[in-house]
Structure formats: C-alpha cells, structure tokens
A = this chain, B = another copy of it.
Amino acid sequence: MKNGFENARRRSLPPQGVAEFKQAFGARFVTSDAVRAHHGRDESPYPACLPDAVVFPRDADEVAHAVRLCDRYRVPVIPFGAGSSLEGHVLPIEGGITLSMAEMNRIISLRPEDFTATVQPGVTRTQLNDALRDTGLFFPIDPGADASIGGMAATRASGTNAVRYGTMRENVVSLKVVTAKGEIVRTGSRARKSSAGYDLTRLFVGSEGTLGIIVEVTLRIHPRPEAVTAAVCNFPTLADAVQSVVEIMQSGIGIARIEFMDERAVGAVNRHSRLELAETPLLLFEFHGSASGVREQAEVVREITRDHGGSGFAWAENPEDRARLWAARHQSHFAGLQLRPGARSVATDVCVPISKLVDCVTQTVEDLKSAEFPFTIVGHVGDGNFHVQMLIDPDCEAQWRAAEAINHRLVHRAIGMEGTCSGEHGVGIHKMEFLKTEHGAAGLELMRLLKHAYDPHNIFNPGKVLAWDA
C-alpha cells in the first residue's frame, strides 16, 4: 500500500550522536526491533515505519536534552503517547528518534479548589479520572481510546462531552513545551483567562508535535454534575435522527452529550459489547445538572425526538447501565474493526455547521452506496462532527483508493459547507492534502512561517500537518 513517504529521506544520528544518547539515557535508549516496531505505527491504516531508536525520558529536562541532541544532528524527533492517533501522526517517516512518554506518566498536582490538574504528557485520560475520583471533579474530554493527555493536547482532541465542556482547545489551561533550542517554556499561567501576549498555549494545542514537544499539561477539570441521566432513542431514518439533533442544539438546553450511531455501528457494538440495542439509526443522550434541571432537559429532548419519529426513548439512570452504554460507544472503533477481521480502518472526521449536518450526512450515505467494503457511521453530532469508518483490506490497493476517494469527496463537501476536514483527529499525514483547500494558500503560508520560525531545522515530527516547503 502506498503512503507517499516510501521515498522520504531518512535522517539518522551519526555514531557520535548515538554515543551521546547512550551516555545520557543508558538502557532507556532502545534500538531493539520489537520496541521500534511498537512505535512505528498508530491506529491509521498506514504500514509501520520504524524510528532509528526509541528514548524513554522521565522529565522535561531529559526531553530538552534529547531535543538539543536531535537539533544538533538535524535528526527528527517524534513524541509518542498511547499510539492511538488515527492519521499517521506518530510515524517516523524520515527516521530519527521517537520519544516515548511512557515513563512521563506522573500526575504532578491536583488543585480541585482551582479546577486545575497538572500532569506529565504520558498520563492517560482514565488514569487522570481515577486520580480525581475522590475530589468531586472530573476531566471530560474522552476520545474513544484511552489516549495520553499529551497526545490529546497535540491533536486538539475532543470526544463525546465536547458539546457541553468543549475540546482540548478550551480545556488546556497551559503547557510546558520544549523548543527547538531545547529550552523549556511555560505557555501560560494558571489563571482562568489572560490577555498577556500571544496565545502560545493554543498555538501548541493541535500542533501535533511539529512545533515543539509537550512535557507538561495543566488542564481544566470540572465539577461532577449533581445528577446525570442518559437515554437512547431509535429513529426510522438517519435524517430523522440528525434533524432531531439540530433542533435540540437550537433549543439551547445545554445538553452534555448527543451521539449518533447508524444501524451498522449499532450492530457492531451489540456484538462487541453484548448489548441488545435495536439496530436502527440511534441517538445517545446524556444530561448533566441538578436533579430538576436534568428532568427538564430530558423532557425537551423527548418532545423533539417524538416529532421526528423517535421511539423507544429508554433511560439508563443507574450508573452501571450508563457506564455500559458509553463504554460501548467508546469501543465502537474497535467494535467496527471486528466486523471484518484483519481489516484496517480509514476514518473520516469532517465537522460542519449544525445547519448543514443533515445534508452532509445524507449526501455522504448516498456516496457510500458504491462502497465495496463494510462501513459504519458514528458522530459527535451535537458538534456537527461525524465519522465514517471504512473497513478496508490493507492489502487491497483498490479498496484503499476507493475509500480515499470517498473521503476526498466528503472533505470537499464539508469545506463547501463552511466546515473543516478534521473535527478532532488532526491532520497527521493523511489530511495534509486538504489544508490548502481549507485554509487557502495564504493561510497555509502563515502556518509555514510559524513552522519555519519555531523549527528551523525541521526536526519536530517532520512531514506532518504541512510539508516543509508547502
């Protein structure tokens, strides 16, 4: 399968550089095939591409030292969290050193009184929520996988709670990053807001390791709502479900989660998670608030869904049922993969203004009728964001091309509707071709100026987000 990077020039450490790394990191500088292979791919369909070595730093100073060495020898340096990225973000396509954040997994401080938590980048979202269990607070951002917080910041991730709580853009308070010179910069304070200069925090959120390495993340955490209820509702057609979402959002009730699954995705999670959901287009809701507030929200939603043929509005009031439902939703990526053993997933990720959502989804389903492979559709539809998961045979070039053609048309459809090619997965390798369409040549030029200013030797995760000479 062609990636377009088979011919990328690899840039490797000279023997002197290898010696310096060994001296600094000892047994934490690893060149074994198994470890390199483990760090050579992600959840994208791209075949593996190995780094020259994997380094396991323990703190910001060690990352800074590694970056200084890589900068000196002009060798790529790629941060690696949980490896759950979907667009080839962590593939070292020009070789170089992968920095695994596996040993930078310490929770540095919890400050419930200020609604902040500070963690090393290798901490995962469930690890953080476990640590918050007794505080009455939680961290809401939940991509499907148990991703690392550093990776989530780097891709500007979101998930099912973004409707109410925002994405990593809104929930990163500040970062510590290592620059190309190997300096450690704190991008902001712990204040809730600031107008003190350029927003360096938001600049690194979503930069996918291409401008610097995130070595610490201070997050906003949220009070656990007094009451939570969840509900499931079935619809005769996809358009009915999506139209309901549009009206629910426009009602302004402040719902926490609205997730869509098509009948294929429901079938997949039924089999994977032993559920018995009716296999029709379906919406999952969650309401957060006071006991009465939650009841009020649910009543509005029940009325709107009824107007669109919604049926079987079923409650999941107790925590176990709710947890089971959301676990199933979170596992839908893996559940989908099991529809076709051995398949890899090409995932789309467009996000459109809510008023365009029905048209965008409907036209996409029409386009998918020609597909010769299984697919599912799920979506964080309260945000206007949905994913087609196309299950291709990784050895069949025709399927890969067909899936890419569908994605290509979908992205152009979404951009034509004032939307974006990526709601939450990021660009990685896979979406680079769309950035010029989305941002224009002048917009891409602003990004290129930034990349060249912050990474003059092109060492930070090269070949991702935008080409060096874009």
Contact = CB atoms under 8 A, between A and B. Distances in A.
A442 interface: yes
Given A156-B195, A421-B196, A202 B443 contact: no
* Residue from A157, A199, A207, A445 with most neighbouring chain B CB atoms (10 Å): A199
Interface stretch (A90-98, A288-296, A365-373): A288-296
A200 B443 contact: yes
A425 B193 CA distance: 11
A442 B296 CA distance: 50
Contacts of A200: 439, 443, 446-447
A239 interface: no
A160 interface: no
Interface stretch (A325-333, A395-403, A426-434): A426-434
Given A191-B384, A193-B385, A296-B293, A186 B351 contact: no
Nearest to A200: B446
* Residue from A162, A445, A449 with most neighbouring chain B CB atoms (10 Å): A449
A172 to B, nearest CB: 11
The 10 closest A-B pairs by CB, nearest first: A223-B252, A202-B202, A183-B442, A194-B420, A190-B418, A191-B351, A453-B453, A114-B353, A113-B355, A449-B453
Interface of A: 111-116, 155-158, 162, 166-167, 169-170, 179, 181, 183-200, 202-203, 205-207, 211, 222-223, 225, 246, 249-252, 289-290, 292-293, 296, 349, 351-355, 383-385, 415, 418-427, 431, 434-435, 438-440, 442-443, 445-447, 449-450, 452-454, 465-466
10 contacts: A115-B249, A190-B353, A191-B383, A195-B425, A195-B427, A200-B443, A200-B446, A290-B296, A293-B296, A452-B453
